Structure 1
Amino acid sequence: MSRVAVAVVGGGPSGLAAAAALAPHVDGQVLVLEREPQTGGIPRHSDHLGYGIRDLKRFVSGPAYARRLTDMARDAGAVLETEAMVTGWAGERSLRVTSPRGVRTVTADAVVLATGARERPRPARLIPGDRPDGVYTTGQLQNLVHLHHRAVGERAVIVGAELVSWSAVLTLRDAGCATVAMVSAYPRAEAYAAFRAGGRLLMDGPVLTDSRVVGLHGKDRVHSVTVEHRSTGRRREIACDTVVFTGDWIPDHELARTGGLTIDPGTRGPMVDAGLRTSRTGVFAVGNLLHPVDTADGAALDGHHVAAAALSWLSSGTAPAKGARIRALAPLRWVVPQLVSTLGGTASRGDLLLWTDEYRRLPRLRAVQDGRVLATKRTSWPAAPGRIYRAPWSLVAGADPTAGDVTVALL
């Protein structure tokens, strides 16, 4: 059994950033527990440019970004333990840890959960058909190509059109595999226009919107997929030997659930206030565990943000997150943070994060509490399905944390 000041569960961007921000200011050890052989998270095997813009103010590759965050955490004084799986709780802030070095309990004064999110594989998406080889998630594909330098096929269909989907296009191109189609259920591809425009130059086929894969065929190796247009019902067969399921993220929330943290039914991650406090005393949550799914640098900025609330807890023992609940009304699916806390504060980056099921070019939002309009705001950027929509935290900042629910709606 060991005792530390802060245990950070997860060594991806948000966990490493939290450790780097906390370690110089904590009286005691900041321990990062990472289940993989190396820290860095998803960027570690995403070998293309596009990382570090918002937090490092640099434009670097995924592996370089992972190394940089690892070095920053280690240089700040954090201890990074790899191949360490947190398998459960052994007390209020005590964690059961299994590693090649044995099984032990780590007790911490504060716990930061940074377990991230994962893509749903084909079985979770309930797509019928055969069970051949050549079917991957983006993470599996990138791990195979960039870490193990293995070949894939020659013709790929990508399911999804999020930012990570265009990352899959780059990885396939590096492996010598052509992307012959990208399939999105939404009326338009979800990623930002700049990524769509550049990404289409790297493709050898169309982006099929308002469509879905309804069949996957092949005995030993996949040889085709059936794609259905959602509005017309028209179907087409596309020959391919590789299928990549991208996006459709879900938080890695098992540890949060077994710890009894209040889980938001919309995000399926822990409910938090602006300081990223959860419902459990001294336990915080950051990054893509909170919502599927933000960019790596956005998750890292969450890690920096949580330091203030965690240090406050360590010095004064503030209570867990309580306050007025923020609820999103359809077509908004979820909102983060979910609480205007009695402890006050402003959300990370000053943003209220939302997910919408409808496209709005210049969206207007209104926040209401107990029949009182708190604020009405318009943003100059769109709200689009398939990616996080950021609204000003000032929309809800005037809420009474001891009063009723706050509702946020698109007008």
Structure 2
Amino acid sequence: MKNNRKDESKMIVIANGSSSVKGVIGSLVFLMTLLTISLTFLFEWPVQAARGFRFPGHALLARTDGGIKITRDDFLDRLRKIAPEVISGEVDENMIRRHLQLYLDEMLLLKEARNKGLHMSESFISFQTEFRRKLLAGKLLRTLDRELFNEPPAREDELNRARTQYEFNINRYQRPMMTRISFIMTPIRDQADKALERLRRGEDFGTVARECSKASNAVKGGEGGYIYPVGSQFRGFSGNGPVPDAVRARAFSLETGETSGLIDGNDGGWYIVRRGDTRPALDVSFDQVRDLLIYKIRHGQKAPKLVRMERVSEKVREIIADAEGYWEEQSSMTIDNRDQRIVRALAAEAEKRGISANEEESSRYVTAATNYLCALLLRELPGNGDAENARKFLENLRKNSGFTIDESVVEDFLKGLRIH
């Protein structure tokens, strides 16, 4: 009984000890986690702040009393679109501040134009319509260019002509390795020995060939053109006639730039040959060049880009011809009106095909519309909006708008650009 009680007491002590150890370990884990979070915050916060994350993307760089607001994200998007070079590489602080002021001025002019109702004017509505048509017409042309990029399937007669051309010019597509040679030939061995001795003394091969060789290529410094290996179905033909097999065999045994000794050509001549550059063998099948041959049969030497332009032009003429009343009215139209009719016809075709402007094209429209409204506003000023009157008008807009630029946000924005 006493032993059992002792064992039970030991187990209780061990259990209590285990609980204490687990409690200590849990406390240590909690403290380490807390310390890690604290250190991360301590060291990362300044870095993040320096990178420009201290203020969120909607933080205001500039604002006016009239409700105009320019956020960090708005301004960054604008720079990426109209002046990406300003935020890439070394940051030009003065140029960025200038762009911010220009952006604010543009917003002021746009607001003033809207206050005067210029965005509802007939001129602006006409501009919007024409600009949208031009966007759609341009996108249709790019779509046609992609659609007409590939050649139509080859007809049977075109395939036959292409195969005939391939077989007639088989040397262009299938041939063994070839090497360029230069050689000296003389019917007298003593003369050949003297020429070889001069070459071994380091004299120029071309000079020795001109003075010693009796072959017709002597005037070209012994240049013999390209030859094929012995045993090939192609003749060992150089630029100056057939080359003896003994000379061909010796030439292919040389290294590039190496010169042989005397060779008995077995044709009454003694040769010295020098090996030049080597062209690898060709093995181009008909299927590999079929499309190219058919293209040349159809279009000759015209560049593919020119052929596609002609196809697009032909398709455009078909679209215009289908436009109601176009050709009947063409004789009475001015150049501008004719261009507008063409754009309208292409835009109508684009709408039929379900083509719409993407995000980039839409942003181009917004930029163009803003510029047009600002131009309409300045055109109403005295002097038709000359530089001096426009400057004074803009100064008054700035003064009356009560605009402010938050320098702390601007500085933070610039820090982020410098680090990134």
TM-score tier (shorter): under 0.3
Task: Choose between structure 1 and 2 for higher RCO, CA contacts under 8 A separated by at least 6 residues.
Answer: 2
Would you tell me which structure has more helix in proportion to its own residues? 2
TM-score normalised by length of structure 2: 0.20
Would you tell me which structure has more strand in proportion to its own residues? 1
TM-score normalised by length of structure 1: 0.20
Q: Which has the larger radius of gyration?
A: 2
